[in-house]
A and B are shown apart, each in its own frame.
Chain A
Amino acid sequence: EAEVAQSPRYKITEKSQAVAFWCDPISGHATLYWYRQILGQGPELLVQFQDESVVDDSQLPKDRFSAERLKGVDSTLKIQPAELGDSAMYLCASSQLLRPKETQYFGPGTRLLVL
């Protein structure tokens, strides 16, 4: 069964350092999502791509976060500089189409700890 791949699974960094997370969606899935999940809470959408274009990044802290999906396949989420409050699980998800009610499939996540 096809899965969403993410790396690394765990990342420890010091504040003010730069970190990057990678996601490879299920093959053929046009839509890709990045979420942040703080411990004990549900996922919150950071950015949504349709192919290589950003559909929604209204919740992305653009002063320190950036995301790209240059060829419309895999994607990278970057934080620079990292802050203590960025410690969380970062989840990537993909769906086949960009339309309401579409099912999203999640990767295993990257757990970030900022010291």
Chain B
Amino acid sequence: GDSVTQMEGPVTLSEEACLTINCTYTATGYPSLFWYVQYPGEGLQLLLKATKADDKGSNKGFEATYRKETTSFHLEKGSVQVSDSAVYFCALSGSGGSYIPTFGRGTSLIVHP
């Protein structure tokens, strides 16, 4: 079946540091890939998405590129802020025509001033 693997957290960074959160997936066909962010006590918010190989999704300074050859969708940001502290979820959907999305376990990011 489909699966999404994210790097273990928490990831702890100082403000203005560079961020990479790794995400790899196993799926049938050509799914869409998503990054969601969850702030404490809140639901998930769509951060960015990519629907086909080599697409780059970007939003709020975050970006991720759909790499089919490495089955990866790593999240990056050049300079993090304290307000970026949250849990980040990688997800896929549309694998093999399925409507049901698959989420990773989430990676907690803590940014210190």
Contacts and interface: CB of A to CB of B under 8 A. Distances in A.
Nearest to B101: A104
Contact of A42 (B49, B99, B103): B103
Interface string A33-61: 00000001111110010000001100000
A101 B94 contact: yes
Interface residues of B, number: 27
A102 interface: yes
A108 to B, nearest CB: 5
A111 interface: yes
B93 to A, nearest CB: 6
Nearest to B49: A103
A98 interface: yes
A111 B100 contact: no
Interface in B36-61: 36, 41-46, 49, 51
Interface in A99-115: 99-109, 111
A91 interface: yes
